[in-house]
Structure 1
Amino acid sequence: MPPPTNHFCKYYLLITMTIAEEEIQKPNIAFLPSPGMGHITPLFEFAKLLVTDHHNLHITFFVITTGASAAQNQLLQQKDLPVNFTVVEIPPAENISEYMMSDGNIRPVTQLSIMVRESLRHLPSLLMEIRPSALVIDLFCTDAFEICEKLSMPVYSFFTASTILMAFSLYLPKLDTEVDGEFVDLPHPIQTPGCNAICPHDILDQVKDRKNDEYKWYLLHVSRLPLAAGIFVNSWDDLEPVTLKALKENSFYHNIPIPPVHAIGPLIKQDEVVTEKGAEILRWLDHQPIDSVLFVVFGSGGTLTSEQLNELAWGLEMSQQRFILVARKPSDASASAAFFNVGSDENDDPLLYLPDGFVKKTQGRGLVVPSWAPQVAILKHPSTGAFLSHCGWNSTLESIVHGVPMIAWPLYAEQRMNATFLAEEVGVVIKFSKVPGEEIINRSVIEKMVRSVMEGEKGTEMRRRGKELKESAKIALSKGGSSYESICSVVKFWKSQ
């Protein structure tokens, strides 16, 4: 083979230098979610999106290992992560995990906040080592603002819940100074500036007891949101038009002032590990009629009491509808009891927690699986006709993206706010009319609700509306769509810096 000519050598050298310069110019964007699948999943999906050919960024994804669940470890230990995507584990905070888990009186937001604060002692040295162009955090990692200010590094906040909750949260510091007593005791709806009013009983659990440390932590985190260089929200214009308009135009938010708000959703889990158990569920679905199966699951951290699980089971049996029930060990202590150990009880036998005779009576029509199921794969399956859900924001978006109507059964956090919004404004959910103080939803109410969605005209209308939103979500993230352009504008800014 003849040696290359000088012309070829110069051309080859030019290409090599150009590629090297492009690699140098790629910004490295770091991500920092707090523990919990509801926080990690959307940030993880956004980070993966940014390393695609179109956006072409380097990503460093920090993982707080203190309090990590089995499901979190499984997600972040994938062997097929994209090129230019690096996962960096933050060393565990010494002794904090054992202390936090041993005290049953410490609520989730307090646990998260202390875990994050102690873990972030390692963050300055890690950031100094990689020198990212920006850091993207979730709501419970706001201690990073002080760290990054010393490093002259911009911080962006990713608000992983609904935009209506973010608007309320931005209003909370003012509400805190103006209202005496508990917000939940107010005699009238709470009017968040520019947004629809919120029933006091629908506000998130973290602000219902102002004497608890959880409220103080939440107030601290949301009061820091204006420090961000920008705020990402996992929503899009067609889903929450009123709130997004208020955040952009209402004078209250201008006067805080808040940074630019970027609607970049819906970002949901795209890749899902389907185990052999998961494959069995999908094979069972393959043999069911289209839109005939009700999928029942309460998110990654939700649990029912023993009595409520019993009523749910018999309500499903009485409805005579096909169903998949993800059964989890009940807890009479807390509806969020599984938050920090999701995925750790997959070998539990769900039959131990269900009423005698239930499985036999529903054999062939119902499927009971322990603890965890491939939610995205089930929601996108044509046989799935409805979703009985806790209405966490990630599950809500997954349901909307796949056009599946919901029965809302909110358990904790902001889930009641989500359910009310989806029922009144979007029309893709029927909300259980659970009266505050009444702990149990009985089997006859469950039977009626399930039948109305699976068989009634209301369910048909919800499916029609669901298909409209499914198409809207697809358009938002497609080239030229509102969320696509919002992401592109931020990436363009990062590259220009």
Structure 2
Amino acid sequence: MPPPVKQIIHESVRAANQFRHQMGSHHVVLFPFMSKGHTIPILHLAQLLLRRPHVAVTFVTTPANRPFVDNFLANTTASIVNIPFPQNVPGIGAGVESTDKLPSMSLYVPFTKATKLMQPDFERELEALPRVSFMVSDSFLWWTLESAEKFGFPRFAFYGMGNYAQSVSTCAAENRLLTGPESLDDLITVTDFPWIKITRNDFDPLFNEREPKGPAFELLVEQVISVSSSYGMIVNSFYELEPGFVDYWNRVHKLKASCVGPLCLAELPRNELQTQQKPAWIQWLDKKFELGSSVLYVAFGSQAEISPKQLKEIATGLEESKVNFLWVLRKEALELDGFEERVKERGLVVREWVDQREILMHRSVQGFLSHCGWNSVMESIVAGVPILAWPMMAEQPLNARFVVEEIKIGIRVETSNGSVKGFVKWESLEKTIKELMEGEMGKETRNKVKKYSEMAKNAVEEQKGSSWPTLETIINETRK
């Protein structure tokens, strides 16, 4: 029986990459963590690398994640390698190969630890590949450093956060700043950045505990040791956005941070891709633009777990604000008691995966109610859209501080008790939505973010900014 067409294409691309390598090309292996927010920027990095002549890319993924990767890397010369995800992991169902499919983020630790079982298959694939110049693998995949050392090529750790969050959190840890105050909401001065004030609530419990222990802490230690022993660190940011924090990190730490972003700018513009039917939400945004109406985009990422009570407050705040909005909800989110029918003239609720950058780049979108995941922050900056910051987890509270206090391209939501992670009532949400979309502060943040948007676009240009030559330096260094 003849092999499937896809398999033939895959083998042809792989052979082409092998030929390119034999002709003197640079061969880069990319291996993201199995999460959309971690995979997408590394897919963009693949596209950025492939703009260079004589660079071949091999992208590592798992069977269930393969269609998403295939779609992203269509019409490129990237070779894609499948590695089976471990089966029979306690608490994780068959076919669950990405964190956005987990029933709860409480399963993050067993899910991540299970990836270690992929190492033998990964190394078998490395044996079959042409010689690797360097690898970029996610910082969560600590064990890939061991594989890189075994095969004798440099490993760069990919960190899915910016230099501000990385520098502030490392400074807080090294100076034990989170062990002092009793209250989770007392302000703490960051030793090396005295103008920055943080709280213990700006960090997940694992980081603000006085004596952390347990499986999650043990996993974190392994990841930190692996990253610190790597050749370097790839950061999805650009020097012009946070120069003081890039300089600080590279002055104080042996592990060099290289800013090569915004990586989302490596993606081909929509009009250069194959024509296709516009999704319903883009058609809806087109109509709003024709009417001269501005739209608030609302999305909290694929990982955030929002209580039914809080979701109802969000719905009420959006309804009472009277602004136009596009709200992307997780599929399993509750029904909102006639909400969609009541707001159908000015609001649209979407319960499926969307191309967030395409939405943010739409001319009708003038604000972003966001959890401040770093990808979302970068995409918002590139699009020139100000942020209404509502952090939920991980380093998002630090990203929110960066957005609101450091570069001033956003406004913070107001919680009922003033705590970073407090409950948000609809009345305060309505007020801050109106301020972002219609108020003076919203105008100021909009003007500010448009300036950063221009800087971002220049950063990745070959002759203008910092990110292009930074990646070029990595390629040249590893070639030697």
**Which of residues 66, 81, 88 in structure 1 aligns to 2:74?**
81
**Which amino acid is 1:84 matched to?**
T
* 1:353 matches 2:335: yes
Considering only aligned residues, what root-mean-square deviation do their CA atoms show, in Å? Answer: 3.1
Q: Deviation of residue 150 (structure 1)? A: 2.4
Q: Which residue in 1 is equivalent to 2:453?
A: 470
C-alpha distance after superposition, 1:343-395 (max 9, x if no partner): xxxxxxxxx521x2322321211111113223111111111110111110001
- Aligned partner of residue 49 in structure 1, secondary structure: helix
Normalised TM-score (structure 1): 0.81
Q: Which residue in 2 is equivalent to 1:488?
A: 472
**Which amino acid is 2:190 matched to?**
Q
- Aligned partner of residue 384 in structure 2, secondary structure: coil
Q: Which residue in 2 is equivalent to 1:339?
A: none
Q: Which residue in 2 is equivalent to 1:39?
A: 38
Q: Which residue in 1 is equivalent to 2:112?
A: 113
Tell me how far apart the structure 2 counterparts of residues 245 and 81 of structure 1 sit (CA, whole Å): 37
* 1:458 matches 2:441: yes
Q: Deviation of residue 465 (structure 1)? A: 0.7
Tell me how far apart the structure 2 counterparts of residues 487 and 448 of structure 1 sit (CA, whole Å): 43
137-146 vs 390-399, which deviates more?
137-146
Tell me how far apart the structure 1 counterparts of residues 314 and 222 of structure 2 sit (CA, whole Å): 38
Q: Deviation of residue 489 (structure 1)? A: 1.2
Tell me how far apart the structure 1 counterparts of residues 53 and 182 of structure 2 sit (CA, whole Å): 44
- Aligned partner of residue 255 in structure 2, secondary structure: coil
Inter-CA distance 149–183: structure 2 relative to 1 (3 Å threshold) = farther
* 1:418 matches 2:402: no
396-405 vs 321-330, which deviates more?
321-330
* 1:395 matches 2:376: yes
User: Does the 8 Å contact 1:323/1:366 carry over to 2?
Assistant: yes
Q: Deviation of residue 440 (structure 1)? A: 2.6
Inter-CA distance 29–185: structure 2 relative to 1 (3 Å threshold) = same
User: Does the 8 Å contact 1:183/1:207 carry over to 2?
Assistant: no
- Aligned partner of residue 353 in structure 1, secondary structure: coil
C-alpha distance after superposition, 1:66-102 (max 9, x if no partner): xx5xxx4442122863443111011121312754789
1:78-157 equivalence runs, <5 A: 78=71, 81-96=74-89, 99=92, 107=106, 109-130=108-129, 131-157=131-157
Q: Which residue in 2 is equivalent to 1:213?
A: 215
Normalised TM-score (structure 2): 0.83
Q: Which residue in 2 is equivalent to 1:338?
A: none
Mark the runs of 5 or more structure 2 residues left unpaired by the alignment: 1-18
1:29-68 equivalence runs, <5 A: 29-52=28-51, 54-65=52-63
Inter-CA distance 44–97: structure 2 relative to 1 (3 Å threshold) = farther
Q: Deviation of residue 206 (structure 1)? A: 4.2
Inter-CA distance 235–148: structure 2 relative to 1 (3 Å threshold) = same
* 1:232 matches 2:228: no
Tell me how far apart the structure 2 counterparts of residues 103 and 478 of structure 1 sit (CA, whole Å): 38
User: Does the 8 Å contact 1:34/1:64 carry over to 2?
Assistant: no
**Which amino acid is 2:412 matched to?**
K
Q: Which residue in 1 is equivalent to 2:262?
A: 266
Tell me how far apart the structure 1 counterparts of residues 112 and 302 of structure 2 sit (CA, whole Å): 19
Alignment size in residue pairs: 444
Tell me how far apart the structure 1 counterparts of residues 420 and 361 of structure 2 sit (CA, whole Å): 36
**Which amino acid is 2:315 matched to?**
A
- Aligned partner of residue 309 in structure 2, secondary structure: helix
Q: Which residue in 2 is equivalent to 1:285?
A: 285
User: Does the 8 Å contact 1:312/1:443 carry over to 2?
Assistant: yes
Inter-CA distance 197–218: structure 2 relative to 1 (3 Å threshold) = farther
Mark the runs of 5 or more structure 1 residues left unpaired by the alignment: 1-19, 332-351
**Which amino acid is 1:447 matched to?**
E
Tell me how far apart the structure 1 counterparts of residues 466 and 377 of structure 2 sit (CA, whole Å): 20
Q: Deviation of residue 44 (structure 1)? A: 1.1
* 1:383 matches 2:355: no
Tell me how far apart the structure 2 counterparts of residues 494 and 438 of structure 1 sit (CA, whole Å): 43
* 1:448 matches 2:428: no
Q: Which residue in 1 is equivalent to 2:304?
A: 302
Inter-CA distance 302–40: structure 2 relative to 1 (3 Å threshold) = same
* 1:160 matches 2:150: no
Tell me how far apart the structure 2 counterparts of residues 57 and 471 of structure 1 sit (CA, whole Å): 28
**Which amino acid is 2:400 matched to?**
A
Inter-CA distance 222–60: structure 2 relative to 1 (3 Å threshold) = same
What percent of counterpart residues are identical?
28
Q: Deviation of residue 136 (structure 1)? A: 0.9
Inter-CA distance 451–186: structure 2 relative to 1 (3 Å threshold) = closer
448-457 vs 217-226, which deviates more?
217-226
Tell me how far apart the structure 2 counterparts of residues 183 and 88 of structure 1 sit (CA, whole Å): 49
Inter-CA distance 169–23: structure 2 relative to 1 (3 Å threshold) = farther
Answer with 1 or 2: which has the greater Rg: 1
**Which amino acid is 2:313 matched to?**
E
